[in-house]
Amino acid sequence: MGLDYYAILDVPRDATTLEIKLAYRKWSPICHPLRKNIVCDIESEFPELCATNENRPCSGLNDSSYWKYLHEAYDVLSNPLSREVYNLYGEEGLKKGVPTNWGFFHPYAFHGDCHKIYREFFASYSPFADLIDAVTNPPPLTLNSDGKLIKKVKDKDIEEVLDITLEEVYKGDNKKIKIMRHEFIDDAKTKTEIREKWLKVPIKRGIESGTVIRFPDEGDRNPTRFPGDVVITINVKNHETFKRDKENLYMTHKISLKEALCDFSLKIHTLDDRILRIKVTDTISPTYNTIIEGEGLPVTDCPAKFGNLIVNYEIEFPKYIPKAIKTQFAELFDKL
């Protein structure tokens, strides 16, 4: 059975990248080979400086082996590609190399330089790098309702969905959205109540459904927390005529059998209130389409450039054709 890198770091298999980094940050200084060799004369006053690795994961491994495997686990799991291969094929596939959808993954071999990884993470070789970081970058503190000193953290985000039309995607605009958030109601900033807040959301031309627009620090006001963000997710509503695929627009136009075989004119009302008149002279088959270049949506990163409008056709056949007319059709088709 191969190494369980997740158990070594003491994180679940679905751990986020941040959780993997926090686990490495927790265990690597405590298990640093030099840390246990430093005599702590002030242990009684500052026991956190002499934290031991007695409760570390994989207690069956000796300290030297765990120090090596800890860095190997972090090296693998902090890299999205090697982590994906490890998740699919385990340690054996990771270290032998495997064919993947994106090409052959070459065998992984840990370089063995644990101190290099440690130095890159903490910007220090010190076995007390975690404590140095806490001193040089102290967390903001505040008092809670019980008068105790606590770390001031950022509040949760306010999340909203903003519905927009395909016309608004084409034209672009600023659209207002109302959110409800806690606001301070006293000068001391200790009391809050829920009030409405209007935000102006920029709608870029060609914006796609699912786009996230973030307003930093516009969330709830709280005396013991920093304001969270307001996160707006764009939802483009379905259109009665057009469907989109990125910057291209698609529509289906119903035509009669006569129109499919003979010339006809196509009239299209565009998203910016123009009327296109297209003369179609080709014979229309079920797979035929008309491509109108530059009549799609603006390209988000280059709004002066447009996609295409693709018109597909649905041919409506007559439900009944008299025998005499069928005979005439047959004679005509024989001449084609």
Mean pLDDT computed over 49-77:
77
Q: Is the pTM here over 0.75, yes or no?
A: no
SS3 at position 262:
coil
Structure-token pair, residue 56 = 């570390």
Euclidean distance between CA atoms 310 and 266, whole angstroms:
13
What pLDDT score does 147 carry?
58
For each of the domains in the chain, give its residue range(s) and CATH number, in order of start: 5-136 (1.10.287.110), 158-236 (2.60.260.20), 242-316 (2.60.260.20)
Structure-token pair, residue 16 = 């986020």
Euclidean distance between CA atoms 3 and 153, whole angstroms:
36
Per-residue pLDDT at 208 exceeds 70? yes
Query: Mean pLDDT for the chain?
Result: 83
Residue 5 one-letter amino acid: Y
Per-residue pLDDT at 36 exceeds 70? no
217-262 confidence digits (pLDDT tens): 999 998 888 888 999 999 999 999 999 998 999 999 998 888 888 8
What pLDDT score does 41 carry?
44
